[in-house]
Structure 1
Amino acid sequence: MFQVISVPEGDFFFDFVRHLTDWIKKARPAKEGVVPSLTYQVFFMKKLWTNTVPGKDSMADCIFHYYQELPKYLRGYHKCSSEEVAQLGALIYRVNFEEDKTQFPNIPKMLKDLVPQDLIRQLSPDDWKRCIVGYFNKQAGKSREEAKLMFLKIIFKWPTFGSAFFEVKQTTEPNFPEILIIAINKHGVSLIDPKAKDILITHPFTKISNWSSGNTYFHITIGNLVRGSKLLCETSMGYKMDDLLTSYISQMLTTMSKQRSSRGNSN
């Protein structure tokens, strides 16, 4: 099983890796005389997107932000128009090939790398090619870096920008689809219809009073612990949702504490 685990804030990297490998060894007892082989990969990724504004840090935009947002866009988690899709497809093409137009005939074959997977069938491959080439020509002269920034500035306008998305099966809300997409971002925890991509409701972090997770579930309580409503979800990604929610709320509480402290000092 493959898991992505964040290094806890304040931990030293190699100390964390040592603790992690020790824990795995204990959790998976090896056969006598056999040394267990443990492998891991390190991903440098942005975790909290609270203050991310495209153009503010061009290096981060080119190295981190673009490459983290692109796969989520292509998986079809965002709600967007056909016009935006064609525009973004042209920018992705430019990032991949810059001004090279010799790949135009191959666009119908590479649509899965240019267009969200659930929208590919909205137009014929040739129509997508025509739209993408049209926008490409309007962006003439733009560099790869400029194309990455333009891509980010378009999706920055969407309420789901900078989200971590999780597909879950919910068992408590009869008015919502059984299969939901949960987006965790700077706005809070959003429940999204997986077909229409509409945001059904967003629970701000200030309204979330409790949450828990396990190997097969993720639960959150909205509002008062006694009278609040619960959302129970079946998912194998509960550990990651728990970690991300904990980090966002910790950051929110730290920010609120600093604001109260600064107001107190000013008085």
Structure 2
Amino acid sequence: MKKLWTNTVPGKDRNADLIFHYHQELPKLLRGYHKCTKEDAVKLAALILRVRFGESKAELQAIPNLLHELIPIDVIKIQNPNEWKKAIITAHNQENGVNCENAKISFLKFVYKWPTFGSAFFEVKQNGDTNFPEHLLIAINKNGVSLIDPVTKEILVTHPFTRISNWSSGNTYFHMTIGNLVRGSKLLCETPLGYKMDDLLTSYISLMLSNINKQKVLTNTRIK
């Protein structure tokens, strides 16, 4: 399992893409964590089929029964199973000659364009901030901590790591302070996964500080 997705570019490390990256990103898509259009879902479903069955077309008739393994759960309801089947088969035919491995790379290159690529997602209930819905989807990635509307999947705000001044967690909560400790805003979340959010945030910020220190050393060395 890849923890920190800082320099992950699909196609750069083919083995990592095939063994780790694809299999970590696929469940996030199917759980409906990304903002995904119907057209995007069709394209990705055709690639997922290629990954699973190669160039075989025998399984295409079973698409209506496989939708939960092909289409994000929040997008399935957009149209009926037969309409999905027709659209996915058309897209599948357009990918003629694409083998299993290349389909994985193509899948990753497609979702790489989304701002939520490489995120760890957490479903939380927030208290106190009336600017945001009570239930939030939080994405932690190389850009910082994003608060996402769980219905529309719109990113409401992204807090870069440089703006996060304090955070804490327990068995049932995760708390985070953005900006100045005295005048900053606080995000208070109810979640059983606070310890995971805490660990991930700590790891990303430690890496960021380490990189800043390395850059300072390099700069000082050049000046001398």
Aligned pairs for 1:38-187 (under 5 A) are 45-187=1-143
Which residue number corresponds to residue 238 of structure 1?
194
- Compute the displacement of 1:74 (Å): 0.2
Aligned alpha-carbon RMSD (Å): 0.5
- Compute the displacement of 1:245 (Å): 0.3
Map Cα deviations across residues 24-83 of structure 1 (whole Å, 9 max, x no partner): xxxxxxxxxxxxxxxxxxxxx000001000000000000000000000100000002111
- Compute the displacement of 1:175 (Å): 1.4
Task: Could you list the structure 1 runs, at least 4 aligned residues long, displaced by more than 2 angstroms after superposition.
Answer: none
For this pair of structures, how many residues does the alignment match?
Answer: 223
SS in 2 for 1:60: helix
Identity score, percent:
64
TM-score where L is the length of structure 2: 0.99
Counterpart of 1:88, as a letter, is L
- Compute the displacement of 1:172 (Å): 1.8
SS in 2 for 1:209: strand
TM-score where L is the length of structure 1: 0.83
Aligned pairs for 1:226-265 (under 5 A) are 226-265=182-221
SS in 2 for 1:154: helix
Counterpart of 1:54, as a letter, is P
Counterpart of 1:197, as a letter, is K
Structure 1's unaligned 5+ residue stretches are 1-44
Measure, in 1, the Cα distance between the counterparts of 2:185 and 2:217: 32
Measure, in 2, the Cα distance between the counterparts of 1:133 and 1:48: 35
Map Cα deviations across residues 193-215 of structure 1 (whole Å, 9 max, x no partner): 00000000000000000000000
Higher relative contact order (CA closer than 8 Å, sequence separation 6+): 2
Which residue number corresponds to residue 165 of structure 2?
209
